[in-house]
Structure 1
């Protein structure tokens, strides 16, 4: 067993293998833990495009998923289940009431599913509690419904875990090849992601460094990034609209990237439901002196997590297009 996996298992946690029934309280619960930040989990939990990838086959909420929103969840083999959002307190609590296919929501045909999100040092804890089964009929009917939904929450939250594993990953270091890789999915059109990735004014907002490129970004131009009054050169190597953005960056005070410079490449790919997958690879670390390499590469690995999370938050908070 991998040492990291063994260490995490020894540390414990509350990631439950399956949902559990509390017959006394007539409720079904499950807690999972994931590495993704709380805002990313919130988006996958509440964005209809994301919901359709882990909870059923479709999620129709024409007015969004804020408190009071009315919509439905659909399964190809079970039909469309009406729903209304009861609570939406970003990014900590989301709750909906849902009923039976073909029926209007009533107290005697619906249950309430409440999701609670808690930030952890290494990610997010998500707990779902579904209540109200006692209103669905006699004790036998309540038990049957709880058994069905126990299986359902086990399966559906496993799907959410798998989705989040695709949506958000930590940066990885390949010491042999001298690379850092980070992949991140953003639920926004590729054109919008590209615009904010390559616009100097936007770069300053999500990366935190003033980006100066006289005449704008274009292949063959060298500009600068700045941090606390110090500048370092950034030479644009590839600028393929909405596909690839690549540059070589150097050290503080250089006019052009020197022999120890690393290369950075962003690739953008469209996702099935209209989102964008951003892959960044920083290579060339074998050119960095041995005595500096390990510390710097670890620092940049954490940096790429912060930077791409910043891009994601900026894109989602920006005004369309």
Structure 2
């Protein structure tokens, strides 16, 4: 299996992290994986900290609530508040806006989906609230992304 992540760009000046990943499936199929909580659970968390979604109201103003479970059973809560949805093309959300114990959040996320000659592309952009938040969050986030997205590739290959 090839690595779906084709580019990760850190832009400290604009406080963004951009992830580009390509998949050999139609754009509609990629969109469905990102908008269905049962499919999200299969790849949102890395293999060493899988996600469980307990609530998923995929509407503008709606929320998704989930937790990641570490190998020792430790749990980390996460939330998204959806701020924009353009079916099969993109959605935007605030990540962890009510996560009071983590000063690095909220972060604004935008996931865009495009058709390519070989299938489809995900362009994920995370915008951080400060350079400090970005620098503190990025190392673990990049490890998680590189571990999680191959799981999405495997999920999509099942069809």
- TM-score range with shorter-chain normalisation? 0.7 to 0.9
| Higher RCO, 1 vs 2 (CA within 8 Å, ≥6 residues apart) | 2
Report the Cα offset of residue 272 of structure 1. 2.4
Report the Cα offset of residue 314 of structure 1. 1.3
* Equivalent runs, 1:275-294 vs 2, <5 Å: 275-286=119-130, 290=132, 293-294=134-135
- The answer to whether the 8 A contact 1:171-1:305 is kept is no
Q: Deviations over 1:163-216 (max 9, x none)?
A: xxxx742422111211111111101011111111110011111123112335x3
Matching of residue 212 in structure 1 with residue 57 in structure 2: no
Instruction: Give unmatched runs, 5+ long, in structure 1.
Output: 1-38, 42-166
Matching of residue 266 in structure 1 with residue 111 in structure 2: yes
Report the Cα offset of residue 259 of structure 1. 8.6
Q: Compare the two structures and name the one with the higher strand fraction.
A: 2
Report the Cα offset of residue 232 of structure 1. 2.4
The alignment's TM-score, normalised by the length of structure 2, stands at 0.79
**Change in CA separation of 1:187 and 1:206 when aligned onto 2, cut-off 3 Å:** same
- Paired with 1:305 and 1:171, the residues of 2 have a C-alpha distance of 10
Report the Cα offset of residue 258 of structure 1. 8.2
Report the Cα offset of residue 253 of structure 1. 4.7
Structure ID, larger Rg: 1
Task: Find the residue that maps to 1:171 and give its secondary structure.
Answer: strand
- Paired with 1:242 and 1:293, the residues of 2 have a C-alpha distance of 28
Q: Compare the two structures and name the one with the higher helix fraction.
A: 1
**Change in CA separation of 1:252 and 1:210 when aligned onto 2, cut-off 3 Å:** farther
The answer for the alignment partner of 2:84 in structure 1 is 238
Matching of residue 308 in structure 1 with residue 149 in structure 2: yes
The answer for the alignment partner of 2:72 in structure 1 is none
- Paired with 1:174 and 1:302, the residues of 2 have a C-alpha distance of 17
Task: Find the residue that maps to 2:2 and give its secondary structure.
Answer: helix
- Paired with 1:243 and 1:258, the residues of 2 have a C-alpha distance of 31
How many pairs are equivalent? 148
Q: Deviations over 1:89-129 (max 9, x none)?
A: xxxxxxxxxxxxxxxxxxxxxxxxxxxxxxxxxxxxxxxxx
Report the Cα offset of residue 285 of structure 1. 4.2
**Change in CA separation of 1:299 and 1:265 when aligned onto 2, cut-off 3 Å:** same
**Change in CA separation of 1:253 and 1:279 when aligned onto 2, cut-off 3 Å:** closer
The alignment's TM-score, normalised by the length of structure 1, stands at 0.42
CA RMSD of aligned residues (A): 2.6
- Paired with 2:36 and 2:157, the residues of 1 have a C-alpha distance of 16
**Change in CA separation of 1:297 and 1:280 when aligned onto 2, cut-off 3 Å:** same
* Equivalent runs, 1:39-54 vs 2, <5 Å: 39-40=1-2
State the 4+ residue runs in structure 1 displaced beyond 6 angstroms.
Answer: none
